[in-house]
């Protein structure tokens, strides 16, 4: 069954949150999600969206069902110029291996090519072997000499108050 890929709308926010929570559960970080559907609507579907999102739909018994999503946003590289960061690509477990993730991935990369960005970046957990193999097979390079650095709001506040 071929998924239908389309840009998300604000009405998709609850389904997107469900997928985000599913991804957090898969990554063994279920308690880390603090964003809400209202946050997604505010940040992604107003006059100045902070991100774009594709959703993957398949026909259900009564209506279509959103079974995957790819959320991404613009960045700027001092070396390359315009780039895109793929924040999350998620497919419900029961629909993996059926081309849904590939269709979402190709949609993001097509979006990047149409906008002439020079690089697309994302992170993958070192234990997510199927994803790593998929990315490498597609021509992506896993940058082993770089470390992802992250500072959450509590650490930011503590540092600035020190």
Contact assessment for residue 119 and residue 77, using Cβ atoms and an 8 Å cutoff: yes
Contact assessment for residue 89 and residue 123, using Cβ atoms and an 8 Å cutoff: no
Q: Which of 73, 105, 135, 159 is catalytic?
A: 135
Residue with tokens 């990554």: 27
Active site residue 135: yes
Distances (CA, A) of 91 to 16, 29, 60: 11, 17, 16
List, by residue number, the catalytic residues.
135
């Amino acid at each position: 069954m071929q998924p239908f890929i389309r840009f998300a709308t604000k009405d998709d926010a609850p389904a997107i949150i469900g997928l985000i929570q599913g991804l957090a559960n898969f990554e063994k970080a279920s308690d880390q999600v603090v964003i809400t559907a209202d946050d997604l609507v505010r940040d992604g579907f107003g006059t100045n969206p902070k991100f774009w999102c594709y959703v993957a739909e398949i026909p259900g018994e009564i209506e279509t069902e959103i079974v995957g999503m790819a959320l991404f946003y613009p960045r700027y590289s001092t070396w390359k110029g315009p780039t895109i960061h793929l924040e999350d690509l998620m497919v419900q477990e029961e629909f993996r291996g059926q081309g849904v993730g590939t269709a979402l991935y190709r949609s993001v990369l097509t979006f990047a090519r149409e906008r002439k960005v020079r690089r697309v970046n994302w992170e993958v957990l070192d234990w997510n072997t199927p994803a790593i193999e998929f990315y490498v097979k597609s021509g992506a390079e896993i940058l082993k000499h770089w470390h992802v650095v992250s500072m959450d709001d509590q650490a930011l506040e503590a540092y600035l108050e020190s």
